[in-house]
Structure 1
Amino acid sequence: MAEQKLKIPLAYRALFLYFEPAAALFGALLLHFRPEIFLNTMSPVAKYATDNQVIYDQLFATYTLFAFNEAVILRITKDLRVWKALLVGILVCDAIHLYGSWAALGGAVFWDIRSWRPEDWANLGSLWGQAAVRVAFLAGVGLKEAIPVKSE
């Protein structure tokens, strides 16, 4: 099967190679060092408990993996299949994250942007926006420069 190499448009590179890894790393550090701030961003009613730190540290590891995958793996390949596979995985995570936010905030807040707190804008606004860009990439928007090449 021919590998598809491509020139990634600047908007995608900026989001997937720089902004998202930095945001994931920031979230990872918050999870480890200031989990109560992270938790408040996700749910205004949830309370931090120190005996649950292991859960935050496990999520810290996951966010660090996201940062690594986007900052490193996507940089070392121009194979469209690899980019799409990784971004589908993150899109699945986005969907589950959005479901969790809907469950925590309730539908009345989740669907009404007028009721969002600044924390909700940081969480939900970035999730929806980044997921939309991910869907555009997966749909091939702006990827007309992909060229199939023979695998070695």
Structure 2
Amino acid sequence: MPELQMHPFYRIWLTWVDPIVIGGTIIGVLIDPNLFMDGFIPASISQANPDHAFLYHHLAVFYGFIVIMVGVLQRVSSDLRVWKTIQAAVLYVDVALIAIVYTSLKQQGRLSLDQMRPVDWANFLFTGWVALIRVFFLAGVGVGKVEAEKKRQ
């Protein structure tokens, strides 16, 4: 089977940074739902409802699944199709998150630049950044295949 060859940035980001960041999100969702929610809706507008804890647990499980895909499956597979499938799925999540944050800000009447908080900008910029990394990876920038065992002459 051909060995997956890619720029080291992708391997580091997609198998180390991604799972660590998502793991931090899981911890935040489970330990302090109010802080997590404040990242999307200011506490002055809404607080996490303890009756909705199951939704946070579902969200944590969903993010845990993504951690397994990016942090484990990508490490054990050298199949470019597997990597691209995983990254396309996570890109879908990234794009959906950007749309969700946009829609939420619009619904809250906080879409104007002077109404946005630093955390709102961080949500857009960081999620946009990781989405861009995935787009470049899926486009094949810095990605190729090399035979695992080269023929000796």
Q: Which amino acid aligns with 1:106?
A: K
Alignment of 1:91-130 (within 5 A): 91-106=91-106, 112=113, 116-130=116-130
Percentage identity across paired residues of the two chains: 26
Alignment RMSD = 2.2
Mapped partners of 1:46, 1:4: distance in 2 = 52
Deviation track 1:29-56 (CA, whole Å, cap 9, x = no partner) reads 1111101111111222342110001000
What is the match of residue 8 of structure 1?
Answer: 6
Q: Which amino acid aligns with 2:89?
A: G
Structure 1 pair 104–139 and aligned structure 2 pair: CA distance change class (3 A): same
Shift of 1:121: 3.4
Shift of 1:5: 3.4
Alignment of 1:76-95 (within 5 A): 76-95=76-95
> What is the SS of the residue equivalent to 2:75?
coil
Q: Which amino acid aligns with 1:122?
A: A
Shift of 1:4: 5.4
Radius of gyration: which is bigger?
A: 2
Mapped partners of 1:35, 1:118: distance in 2 = 19
- Runs (5+) with no aligned partner, structure 2: 149-153
> What is the SS of the residue equivalent to 1:136?
helix
Deviation track 1:125-146 (CA, whole Å, cap 9, x = no partner) reads 1100000010000000111x32
**Structure 1 length normalisation: TM-score?**
0.85
Mapped partners of 1:36, 1:126: distance in 2 = 21
What is the match of residue 151 of structure 2?
Answer: none
Mapped partners of 2:111, 2:77: distance in 1 = 37
> What is the SS of the residue equivalent to 2:76?
coil
Q: Which amino acid aligns with 1:36?
A: N
> What is the SS of the residue equivalent to 2:6?
coil
**Structure 2 length normalisation: TM-score?**
0.84
What is the match of residue 29 of structure 1?
Answer: 27
Q: Which amino acid aligns with 2:145?
A: A
What is the match of residue 71 of structure 1?
Answer: 71
Runs of 4+ in 1 over 6 A off after TM superposition: none
Mapped partners of 2:73, 2:28: distance in 1 = 23
Mapped partners of 2:138, 2:112: distance in 1 = 25
- Runs (5+) with no aligned partner, structure 1: none
What is the match of residue 49 of structure 1?
Answer: 49
